[in-house]
Amino acid sequence: MALSPEYIISSLQALYGDQVTSGDIRAWCAMNGNNYQTVTKKLESHKVGRGKWDLTTTEQLEHTFQQPAAMPAVEQNLIPEKDDTFVAFGSHNDIKKILRSNLFYPTFITGLSGNGKTLSVEQACASLNRELIRVNITIETDEDDLIGGFRLVNGETVWHNGPVVEALERGAVLLLDEVDLASNKILCLQSILEGKGVFLKKIGKMVHPKRGFNVVATANTKGKGSDDGRFIGTNVLNEAFLERFCVTFEQEYPTPAQEEKLLRLHSASVGCHDDKFIKHLVDWADIIRKTFYDGGIDEVISTRRLVHIIRAFSIFKDKTKAIEVCLNRFDDETKQAFIELYDKVDAEIQFDLTATGEKFPREV
C-alpha cells in the first residue's frame, strides 16, 4: 500500500510533534522500513528550512479539511424511536423541559441501577423529535473516543469526528451514560461543558456548538465513588468536572402504581396477560426496596429486573421458573430470601428449595 502524506504526518506528529528534523525523519524511516527520499518528497510542501519541516502549515490544514469524515453525519438518523411500553416518572418531565428550551444546560442524573435513567432521556428526545448521541463511558474512554481522531479509510488517513463533535455540529443531545466509570481522561470535555465548543488541535479547527446542543450524564453514584462496593468500577470524578453540571436529578424507582402500569404495557407487548401476577411482583419489589432503604438488606429488585421476569414468563409459561432464573444473578442467600418473600406475597405458587422437591415453609 502506497504511503499517503497524511499518514506520514500523523505518524511523525505522534512521535516527534509538529516540528521535525531530518534526523527525526531518518529515524522514522528506519523504524518503518521506508525510503528517506520518498518520504521527504511527500513532505515537500511542509519544508521550512534545510533539514526542517513544519507539519502544521496552512497547506496541510486546508488539505485535511477537505477530507470527509469516515461516516458523514447526514447519512444517519439519530432520533430515538418511541417506546410504547414507556411510562413517564421521576425526572422525565423536567428533562423534557430542559431539552425543549434549547438552552445549553448540562444535566446530571443519578440513581440506582435499572430505574430508567437512560430510557427516560431517550424517550424525552423521541417525544421532542431531538437527535440523541449516546456514549457508554468506561475506564478506557479517552479523548480519541470522544472527540475523534485520524482513521485509515480506503488507504487514506482522514479525520473522523467523535460522538462529541458530531453532537456539537448537529445540535444534538449528548448522553454520557455511566459517566462515573470514567477516568480523568474525560476532562477533555471541560470546555464543552462550559458551552464553548472544542478546538480540534490535530487539524486546527474550532467547532462551536449548534443551537440545541446539550449534555446529559447518567450515573449510579454522584461522582464520589461507591463506598459500599455495590458499583464496582465507579470512580471519584474531578470536582471541577462535576461543578460544570447545572443541576442534578436524583432518580428513584417508580411508585407501585406507575410500575404496575409499566409492567402491564410490557406484558401486553409480549402477549402475556396476568394482572394478578403483575400486582404480586410490584408489591414484592416494593417491600424489598423499603427494606433495602432501611438497611435491612444489601440488594434490591429493580424495575428492569421485573421486566425481565415478565419476559421470562412469556417465554417459559411458568411463573416460578421465570422468577428463579431472573434471581439467579444474586448470591444463594439473597436469592432464597427473595423467593421466600415472594412465596408469602403470592399464595398461589410454591418454589422448590432444592432439586429434591423440598418446599419453602409457608407461615400460617
The string of DSSP codes covering 231-243 is STT--B--HHHHH
At residue 64, the pLDDT reads 43
Can you read off the three cell numbers belonging to residue 235?
470512580
Cα distance between residue 111 and residue 293, in whole Å: 13
At residue 231, the pLDDT reads 67
The larger pLDDT score, comparing residue 60 to residue 243, is at 243
What tens digit of pLDDT does each residue of 280-294 get? 999 999 999 999 999
On whether the CB atoms of residues 141 and 182 are closer than 8 A, the answer is yes
Q: How far is CA 75 from the centre of its chain?
A: 22
Which residues are CB-neighbours of 146 under 8 A, at least 6 positions away?
135, 162, 163, 164, 186, 188, 189
At residue 276, the pLDDT reads 94
Residue by residue, DSSP assigns 243-269 as HT-SEEEEEPPPPHHHHHHHHHHHHHH
Share of the chain above pLDDT 90, in %: 63
On whether the CB atoms of residues 118 and 109 are closer than 8 A, the answer is no
The pLDDT of 316-328, averaged and rounded, is: 95
CA-nearest of 344, 346, 345, 326 to 335 is: 326
At residue 212, the pLDDT reads 95
Q: What sign has the CA pseudo-torsion 325, 329, 331, 337?
A: negative
For the chain, give percent helix, strand, coil, nearest 5: 45, 15, 40
CA-nearest of 151, 1, 143 to 64 is: 151
* 209 pLDDT above the threshold of 80: yes
* 45 pLDDT above the threshold of 90: no
The larger pLDDT score, comparing residue 60 to residue 300, is at 300
Report the chain's terminal Cα–Cα distance, integer Å.
79
Q: What angle do CA 280, 285, 290 make, to 5 degrees?
A: 130
At residue 35, the pLDDT reads 86
With cut-offs at 50, 70 and 90, classify the pLDDT of residue 85. Answer: very high
With cut-offs at 50, 70 and 90, classify the pLDDT of residue 62. Answer: very low
Provide the 10 A C-beta neighbour count for residue 249.
20
Can you read off the three cell numbers belonging to residue 328?
439467579
CA-nearest of 230, 285, 117, 95 to 173 is: 95
The pLDDT of 113-124, averaged and rounded, is: 95
Cα distance between residue 60 and residue 202, in whole Å: 11
Cα distance between residue 30 and residue 24, in whole Å: 10
Query: Which residue in this structure is represented by grid cell 460544570?
Result: 244
Cα distance between residue 235 and residue 183, in whole Å: 7
* 192 pLDDT above the threshold of 90: yes
Can you read off the three cell numbers belonging to residue 51?
533539514
Pairing of strands 148-153, 107-111: unpaired
At residue 354, the pLDDT reads 54
* 363 pLDDT above the threshold of 50: no
* 71 pLDDT above the threshold of 90: no
Cα distance between residue 334 and residue 321, in whole Å: 17
Share of the chain above pLDDT 70, in %: 89
At residue 96, the pLDDT reads 97
Q: What sign has the CA pseudo-torsion 97, 98, 99, 101?
A: positive
At residue 75, the pLDDT reads 60
* 319 pLDDT above the threshold of 50: yes
What tens digit of pLDDT does each residue of 210-267 get? 999 999 999 999 988 766 656 667 888 999 999 999 999 999 999 999 999 999 999 9
The pLDDT of 180-204, averaged and rounded, is: 93
CA distance readout (Å), 222 to 109, 180, 226, 247: 8, 8, 9, 12
Query: Which residue in this structure is represented by grid cell 479539511?
Result: 65
The larger pLDDT score, comparing residue 351 to residue 100, is at 100
At residue 318, the pLDDT reads 93
Q: Among 37-41, 180-184, 355-359, name the one with the lowest average pLDDT.
A: 355-359
With cut-offs at 50, 70 and 90, classify the pLDDT of residue 59. Answer: very low
The pLDDT of 134-157, averaged and rounded, is: 91
Pairing of strands 47-49, 52-54: antiparallel
On whether the CB atoms of residues 321 and 341 are closer than 8 A, the answer is no
At residue 39, the pLDDT reads 83
Query: Average per-residue pLDDT in the chain?
Result: 87
